[in-house]
Amino acid sequence: MNHSEVVIAEMVFPNETNHYGTLFGGDALRLMDKAAFIAASRYSRTSVVTASLDKTDFREPVRQGELVEVIGRVLSRGRTSMLVETELFSEDLLTGKRRLCTVSRFVMVAVDGEGRPTTFAASE
């Protein structure tokens, strides 16, 4: 198991789509942020929060009824922060066709018990 990578999968239901029948961008970002958080937490074994989104590219729409799979992986880390890339794929469960729909990079920051930035645990 690669502890710098995480996979989240969910179905896209009507309450998550706009009037075009496609996934709201905010719902896509919510899933990607969750994957970034889990990947960073698992990798560092430290409390982390999202500091920023470095870049997000919405390449393809995700349609109602499709499966979304988000892959989050730690790309690099510094003393107090790490860069996590997320990729959101859609999949038609009947045909198996997959498409890369959205790519984003999140900066995650280590925080202490009061929520202030801190260095990562020395045990890494």
Give a yes or no: residue 116 inside a domain. no
pLDDT category at 67 given cuts 50, 70, 90 is very high
> HSE on the CB side for 89, CA within 13 Å?
14
Give a yes or no: residue 20 inside a domain. yes
Give a yes or no: residue 119 inside a domain. no
Give a yes or no: residue 117 inside a domain. no
Give a yes or no: residue 118 inside a domain. no
pLDDT at 74 exceeding the cut of 70: yes
Q: Using one digit for the tens of pLDDT, what is the confidence trace for 13-24?
A: 999 999 999 999
Give a yes or no: residue 75 inside a domain. yes
CATH number at residue 80: 3.10.129.10
Q: What is the mean pLDDT of residues 107-122?
A: 90
Q: Which three-class secondary structure state does DSSP give residue 48?
A: strand
pLDDT at 122 exceeding the cut of 70: no
Give a yes or no: residue 93 inside a domain. yes
Domain count, the chain: 1
Give a yes or no: residue 32 inside a domain. yes
For residue 19, the enclosing domain spans: 5-110
